[in-house]
Amino acid sequence: MRYIYLIHGSTKPLVEAETDKLLAKLIGNRDEFNFSQYDMKEIPFETMKEDAMTIPFLSDAKAIVIHNAFVFTGEKVKTTFDINIDEILMFIEGFEGPNYVIFTVYSDKLDERKKIVKKIKANHDVRKIEPLDEQGMKQVIKTTLNENFKDIKEDALNEMIGLTGIDYGAVMKELDKLVLYSGDAPVITKSDVSQVVSRSLEQNVFLLTDYITTGKKTKAIHLLKDLIHMKEEPIKLLALITSQYRLYYQVKILAEKGYSEQQIAREVKVHPYRVKLSMRKVRQIPLKHLLEVIDACAEADYELKSSYMDKVLILELFILKV
């Protein structure tokens, strides 16, 4: 019998759904006697431990959900109280019920170097909730709109994914805007999406690298200026551009070795959707050119951090150079 669980994943609503499913299995309907929840960033672990160790009242067992369990990740968190990792580790090693403890972490990755992660994986139930793929995100969009008594045309759906990517948080925020904008209209059109939905930073950077790669320098500089106007820092933008070109390089090498999209995603540790988009772009780009651009990125990064020149001008010169 398992009494400690850890559920983690980058898509918070999916982690919450899995938590709800587990709670229903463990304790059935929740009430004030068999369920409590805490946030590890806000409440000392000692309080949670005492609750977990307390004999349940009017129920066979109770469940304690501990949200934002950052001690299992590499995240640095400042709290108003001391975090005693040894205390948490001893609890994980020695807890034997009858209550249930569920830790939730809103991240795809745990810090595998930590003893606490190794212990919980070895002795308890750890569940990773994979992020949605493109089809899964499209279904979420359709379902959400259906709940608002609306439908969406296929070209509008594709347009939305093209603007937001498959970032759950970004998609849901834009859907709220879309529902309000469309009013009583029963069907969302591509025009509606184009008018209302904002392109995510990741998708903007992908478009920017596409403009650079295909020689559309004027469009690239216009988009760069738009991003600067949106208060994006030049150093951050260059870092994202560099990351995208490194991904192009990795994807091209692995694709030429016969790796599938899913295999590449696992190898380079990025979402399969990013690999899918990159695969479309790198087929006609020589490896030599990708390496040249990566070198140019390194030079531009040095200039941004050491030169007195205007940082936006440095980025514009970089775009014109490559």
- The predicted-structure confidence for 15-71, as pLDDT tens digits, reads as follows 998 999 999 999 988 888 889 999 999 999 999 999 999 988 877 889 999 999 999
pLDDT of 7 reads 96
Q: 300 pLDDT exceeds 80?
A: yes
Each as own residue / partner, the long-range contacts of residues 256-261 (CB below 8 Å, 24 or more positions apart, any chain) are none
Backbone angles phi and psi of 109, in degrees to 5: -115, 135
d(CA 140, CA 157): 11
pLDDT for position 270: 84
Could you check whether 4-128 and 201-321 share the same CATH topology? no
- Assign domain 4-128 one CATH number from 3.40.50.300, 3.90.950.10, 3.90.550.10, 3.40.50.2300: 3.40.50.300
Distance in angstroms (rounded) separating the CA atoms of residues 238 and 313: 12
Q: Is the CB of residue 159 less than 8 Å from the CB of residue 127?
A: no
Strand, coil or helix: what is 19?
helix
Residue-wise pLDDT tens digits, 179-212? 999 998 999 999 999 999 999 888 999 999 999 9
DSSP 105: E
The phi and psi torsions of 59 (rounded to 5 degrees) equal -160, 160
Residue closest to 39 by CA, chosen among 66, 70, 75: 66
Predicted pLDDT of residue 291: 94
| CB contact burial 81-101 (16+ within 10 A = b; e otherwise) | eeeeeeebbebbeebeeebbb
Question: Token digits for 131?
Answer: 């992020």
How many Cα atoms occupy the beta-carbon half-sphere of 226 within 13 Å?
Answer: 14
- Predicted pLDDT at 177: 92
Quick one: tokens of 53?
């160790």
pLDDT at 142 over 90: yes
Give the pLDDT confidence score for residue 12 in this predicted structure: 85
Q: Where are the domains of the chain?
A: 4-128, 134-196, 201-321
Residue 191: both structure tokens together: 């025009």
Asked whether the predicted pLDDT for residue 1 surpasses 80, the reply is: no
**Per-residue confidence (pLDDT) for residue 209, from 0 to 100:** 93
Token output for 137: 């995100």
Percent above pLDDT 90 for the chain: 65
> For residue 6, what are the CA distances in angstroms to 11, 36, 84?
15, 16, 19
pLDDT digit string (tens) for 145-174? 999 999 999 999 999 998 988 888 788 889
Residue 302 has pLDDT above 90, yes or no: yes
Mean pLDDT score across all residues of the chain: 91
Q: Grade residue 74 by pLDDT with cuts at 50, 70 and 90.
A: confident
Question: Is residue 296's pLDDT more than 80?
Answer: yes
Rounded distance, CA 307 to CA 315, Å?
Answer: 12
pLDDT in tens, 198-251: 998 889 999 999 999 989 999 999 999 999 998 999 999 999 999 999 999 999
Task: Supply the pLDDT for residue 79.
Answer: 87
d(CA 103, CA 121): 12
Helix 154-164 to helix 134-147 angle (10° resolution) is 120
Phi, psi of 258 (to 5 degrees): 95, 10
Give CATH for domain 201-321: 1.20.272.10
- Residue range 134-196 forms a domain whose CATH class is mainly alpha
The candidate with the shortest Cα–Cα distance to 63, out of 104, 30, 14, 40, is: 30
